[in-house]
Amino acid sequence: MTKQFTTILDPDVVRDPHPVLTELRSSAPVVWDAQVETWLVTRHQDVKSVLADPRFSRDRRLTKFYTPPEPGTWAAHHDEYTMNVADDAQHRRWRKQLSAGFTPRAVRRMEEQVRAVVSQFASPLIGRSGTVDLVESFTNPIPNTVISRITGIPPYPGEEDRFRQLGQDVIRQFFPMADAENKRRGEQAMEELAEWIGKLADERRQEPRDDLLSDLILGNQGEDAMSNSEIIMQIVVLVAAGSETTTLGGTHTIRLLLEHPDQLARLRADPSLTRNAVREMLRFDFGGAGSMPLIAMEDLEIGGVTIRQGDMVMGSVASANRDETVFDAPDQFDITRDTREILTFGSGTHYCLGANLALQELDCMLEGALEFLPEGARLVDDELEWESIGLMRRPVNLPVDFG
């Protein structure tokens, strides 16, 4: 029997949220989590509607667990100046400035760059033998390298690994319920990244290049013009958002396919399934039970439950993606299923700005992996390590035996 739900912080729920989420969808689809002090919404229809509902704010300063960074720091600016936590007109303004860089057409133009980066990391893996950690050698470096090139923010010379770590630290402090250590590291990383981006912004002002930072500086005119701090913060968010999530996606894609050899064989037989295999990974196993906190700005109702103004609500994307009323046999990993209704990139006006880019990167990473993974490659389960970050867990490594 499934254990009674108490909190999304329960280590068993962090490890595998699905038994509890399945139970909640049928018995208590809008449930109060007293430990986190949030409503958890689990049915697809409700999750989709709360994510797109303008009566919720994403301003994390309104949440109960918010501990303000020191005033005047870049971390404090982040909560004032970035689109992911802004609402209404302010959000529209920032999003409009950045959107042009991420349309399907703009992303198609980046394809060559993405392919070049993937090939840089895939080529040395062709013909390898023994056990290889594919996080370290493949899924970790690629997304950060891609976003660095697109935004025009190269790593500190000779310090690629540390630069990547900064991007990842920034995003980790942003995960809901990140612990004090992740917050401290994240805030420190934000200072460093913002300083570095500020320095490059000054250089681009003198000598523009073919990158997003230069475009933002050059195109920044009229009533929507952004201040220097605003430009810096939007780029910090892109560097951070563009690194960790896509690394996680690439790692889960390879892991799930190795864990489901029938699906891997299917993909090898029909590579046109690549995009759908990636989307199925995003449906099947991405993220934990909770998600970004939303704050009700007025009294409202979800699924017959009254939510009061000021209450926190989390739409459980992981649950929505396994809702049996939307996906047949939702607990099966099936790369041929209809994945149109996945909510992993959100819904509504805050829908992930980088979704097109992320999908393109993940497609390329998967294609690259199929080239270097020999037929008999096998996941070394007992060496696979997981770590918990706030409400979710992620694989730290991906040990694969190449034979």
Q: Does 274 bind ligand HEM (CB under 6 A)?
A: no
Sites for ligand HEM among residues 34-53 (CB under 6 A)? 51
From 15-23, 33-41, 110-118, 233-241, give the range in contact with ligand HEM by CB under 6 A: 233-241
> How far apart (Å, rounded) are the C-alpha atoms in residues 101 and 110?
10
Please report the sign of the dihedral spanned by the C-alpha atoms of residue 252, residue 254, residue 260, residue 264. positive
From 4-12, 18-26, 103-111, 239-247, give the range in contact with ligand HEM by CB under 6 A: 239-247
Q: Does 354 bind ligand HEM (CB under 6 A)?
A: yes
Sites for ligand HEM among residues 64-83 (CB under 6 A)? 83
Could you tell me if residue 130 is left (phi over 0), alpha (psi between -120 and 50 degrees) or otherwise beta? left
Query: Is 94 or 327 the residue whose CB approaches ligand HEM more closely?
Result: 94
> How far apart (Å, rounded) are the C-alpha atoms in residues 17 and 391?
10
H or E stretch covering 370:
helix 355-372
Number of residues that this document lists for the chain: 403
Query: Is 28 or 297 the residue whose CB approaches ligand HEM more closely?
Result: 297
Binder among 29, 69, 242, 390 for ligand HEM (CB under 6 A): 242
Query: Is 28 or 300 the residue whose CB approaches ligand HEM more closely?
Result: 300
> CB of 164: closest distance to ligand HEM in angstroms?
14
Residue 56 dihedral angles phi and psi, to the nearest 5°: -105, 145
Cβ atoms 363, 275 nearer than 8 A? yes
Cβ atoms 22, 2 nearer than 8 A? yes
The binding track of 289-308 with respect to ligand HEM, each residue x by CB under 6 A or -, is ---x----------------
> How far apart (Å, rounded) are the C-alpha atoms in residues 336 and 379?
23
DSSP 184-250: HHHHHHHHHHHHHHHHHHHHHHHS--SSHHHHHHHT--STTPPPHHHHHHHHHHHHHHTTHHHHHHH
From 7-15, 190-198, 218-226, 346-354, give the range in contact with ligand HEM by CB under 6 A: 346-354
Q: Three-state DSSP class for 132?
A: strand
Binder among 22, 246, 263, 316 for ligand HEM (CB under 6 A): 246
Which residues are paired to 394 by β-bridges?
A: 387
> How far apart (Å, rounded) are the C-alpha atoms in residues 114 and 121?
11
Amino acid symbol at 322: R
> How far apart (Å, rounded) are the C-alpha atoms in residues 169 and 156?
16
Query: Is 153 or 358 the residue whose CB approaches ligand HEM more closely?
Result: 358
Q: What is the DSSP letter of 178?
A: -
The binding track of 93-112 with respect to ligand HEM, each residue x by CB under 6 A or -, is --x-----------------
Query: Is 117 or 241 the residue whose CB approaches ligand HEM more closely?
Result: 241
> CB of 142: closest distance to ligand HEM in angstroms?
11
Q: Does 245 bind ligand HEM (CB under 6 A)?
A: yes
Binder among 17, 152, 167, 249 for ligand HEM (CB under 6 A): 249
Binder among 197, 307, 358, 373 for ligand HEM (CB under 6 A): 358
The helices-and-strands tally (H runs, E runs) of the chain is 17, 12
Q: Does 344 bind ligand HEM (CB under 6 A)?
A: yes
Query: Is 297 or 352 the residue whose CB approaches ligand HEM more closely?
Result: 352
Size of the site for ligand HEM (CB under 6 A): 22
Query: Is 28 or 106 the residue whose CB approaches ligand HEM more closely?
Result: 106
Binder among 107, 135, 232, 241 for ligand HEM (CB under 6 A): 241
Amino acid symbol at 196: W
With 0-12 / 13-18 / 19 or more C-beta atoms within 10 angstroms meaning exposed / middle / buried, residue 385 is exposed
> How far apart (Å, rounded) are the C-alpha atoms in residues 386 and 393?
6
Q: Does 237 bind ligand HEM (CB under 6 A)?
A: yes
List residues near ligand HEM by CB under 6 A.
51, 58, 83-84, 95, 237-238, 241-242, 245-246, 249, 292, 344-346, 350, 352-354, 357-358
